[in-house]
A and B are shown apart, each in its own frame.
Chain A
Amino acid sequence: MSNRKPAGGFFMRDTAWHPPALTPQYKTSVARSPSRALLSMPQTMSEVTGPVFGHNILGDLDNDLILNYSQDGTSAIGPRIIVYGRVVDENGRGVPGALVEVWQANAGGHYRHAKEGYIAPLDPNFGGCGRVITDDDGGYEFRTIQPGPYPWPNRVNDWRPAHIHFSIFGDGFAQRLITQMYFEGDPMIWQCPIVDTVPSREGIETLVATLDMAATLPMDARVYKFDIVLRGRRATIFENRMEGT
Chain B
Amino acid sequence: MMIPLNRRRESPSQTAGPYVHIGCVPNFCGIEGVYPHDLGDTMVNDQTKGERITVTGTTFDGTGTPLKDAMVEIWQADAAGLYNSPSEIRGTADTNFTGWGRKAGDYATGEWNFETVKPGAVPFPDGRMQAPHISFWIVARGINLGLQTRMYFPDEDNSTDPVLTRIEHQNRVPTLVAEQVDASTYRFNIRLQGEGETIFFDF
Residues of A participating in the B interface, judged by any CB pair closer than 8 Å: 1, 3-7, 10, 13-15, 17-21, 23, 26, 28-36, 38-53, 57, 59, 61-62, 68-69, 88-92, 99, 101-103, 111-116, 127-131, 165, 167, 171-174, 176-180, 194-195, 197-198, 203-204, 206-207, 228-232, 240, 242
Contacts and interface: CB of A to CB of B under 8 A. Distances in A.
Nearest to A172: B87
Given A34-B200, A91-B7, A176-B146, A171 B75 contact: no
A23 B100 CA distance: 31
B144 A20 contact: yes
Interface residues of B, number: 85
B34 interface: yes
A194 B17 CA distance: 10
B84 to A, nearest CB: 6
Contact of B31 (A14, A129, A171, A195): A129
Given A1-B86, A44-B125, A197-B14, A51 B98 contact: yes
Contacts of B9: 14, 17, 90, 203, 206, 229
Contacts of B89: 4-6
A230 B86 contact: no
Contacts of A112: 22, 30-31
Chain B interface, DSSP helix/strand/loop, else mixed? loop
- Contact residues of A: prevailing secondary structure: loop
Contacts of A242: 126-127
Contacts of B26: 127, 129
Nearest to A103: B23
Interface centre among B14, B19, B62, B167 (most CB of A within 10 A): B14
B183 interface: no
B194 A42 contact: no
Given A62-B35, A68-B34, A4 B87 contact: yes
5 contacts: A41-B202, A68-B34, A112-B31, A167-B24, A173-B75
Contacts of A51: 75, 84-85, 98-100
A39 B135 contact: no
B23 A21 contact: no
B43 to A, nearest CB: 10
